[in-house]
Copies of this chain bind each other. A is one copy, B any other.
Amino acid sequence: MGVTIKDIAIKLNISKAAVSKALNDKEDISIELKDKVKKTAKEMGYSPNYFAKKLATKKSNTLGVFILGKENLKGEEYYGYKFLDGIIETAVSYAYDILVFSENKNKSYTEIIREKMVEGVIFIGVDSEDKKINSVKDLLLPISIIDFHLKGENISFLSSDSYKGVKSVIDYLTELGHEKIGIIIGGEAEISKRRYFAYKKILESKNLFHKKYVYEGDFTKKSGYEIGKRLFRKKDRPTAIFSVSDLMAIGFIEGVKANGMKIPEDISVVGFDNIGFGYYSNPSLTTVDQNPLEIGQMAVKYIMDVIENKNVNNEILIEPKLIKRKSCKKIK
């Protein structure tokens, strides 16, 4: 497997021990010889045996990333990959490698993690019904879990901060002069509830909350469409709508347009999630980006902080970003 210490020793006509000392920066060897060995090693294309080095240092310098929840998508984009960019980039900055795993019917998470000797693990896309995840508590490794709560030592919960995301929406709409701000919620889903509570709290503090502007969808595009279509008939309409998901917002826009009304001229619309297609919708959709890049970065940083014995916070909420596009209009 490429150039060895022996090859360098033969080339320079010195002992293997001397080569090894030079390459490992030991002190009982002259600086001249050290430089000479290093130069020759470089010229010959030598690189230290990766696994031997890991074994010697008893560190794998590797993190494992479980990419889960891809089974139930029907043609939809897999959101979880958006975290990978921040994960890889940050791991590289710590000189760590990333091993990726997906569902494996034959092996438990714990078996995979033990076998690969990773120093930390990140979970993406854990299903809310997943019972297997509990066993990872026994590993005593630093673990970052995105959008899923698991209590345990050195286990962190990472998510975007719903409250701040919703606040950025309301602040933007009120700046544009909107006071009648409606919401499309998504039934009993956890994230819908969190976003609705933030909406209610913020509007109440401004005396702008009205139950009649709350519309109930079910996270499908069709439910947004129906709400948009019916809205036409209502006399007292909101001037802006915040949908707790982009998909319902897109459906809503189509429903409104089906009645000959225009976006944003007749009503402003804001979504949540920044799923790719909002970029291409007509008009393009103003939305809240969960900031998956930073979530990925922080997932790695948490693990590194634990490894380096730094103080850590097990609940990491990332500030989302409002992405202003063309679906909102200034009315005052």
A→B interface (CB under 8 Å)? 1-2, 45, 47-52, 54-55, 58, 60, 67, 70, 74-78, 81, 84-85, 88-89, 92, 97-102, 104, 111, 114-117, 221, 247, 250, 254, 274-277, 279-282, 323
Contacts and interface: CB of A to CB of B under 8 A. Distances in A.
A3 to B, nearest CB: 10
Give 6 closest A-B pairs by Cβ, nearest first: A277-B277, A77-B276, A81-B81, A75-B279, A50-B117, A47-B114
A187 B34 CA distance: 57
A115 B50 contact: yes
B50 A60 contact: yes
A98 B102 CA distance: 11
A52 to B, nearest CB: 6
Contacts of A275: 276
Contacts of A55: 49, 51-52, 55
Contacts of A77: 77, 276
Contact of A254 (B250, B282, B323): B282
Nearest to A284: B75
A275 B77 CA distance: 8
Nearest to A45: B114
15 contacts: A45-B114, A49-B117, A51-B54, A51-B55, A51-B60, A51-B117, A55-B55, A75-B279, A77-B276, A81-B84, A84-B100, A97-B99, A250-B280, A276-B276, A277-B280
Contacts of A67: 84, 88
A74 B284 CA distance: 13
Contact of A47 (B51, B115, B247, B323): B115
A197 to B, nearest CB: 28
A78 B79 CA distance: 11
Contact of A58 (B1, B48, B75, B89): B1
A1 to B, nearest CB: 7
Contacts of A49: 55, 117
Given A50-B117, A276-B76, A85 B97 contact: no
Nearest to A75: B279
B88 A101 contact: yes
Contacts of A117: 1, 49-51
Contacts of A104: 92
A40 to B, nearest CB: 16
A98 B100 contact: yes
B221 A280 contact: yes
Q: Which of A48, A50, A101 has the most CB of B within 10 A?
A: A50
Nearest to A275: B276
Given A51-B54, A55-B52, A276 B99 contact: no
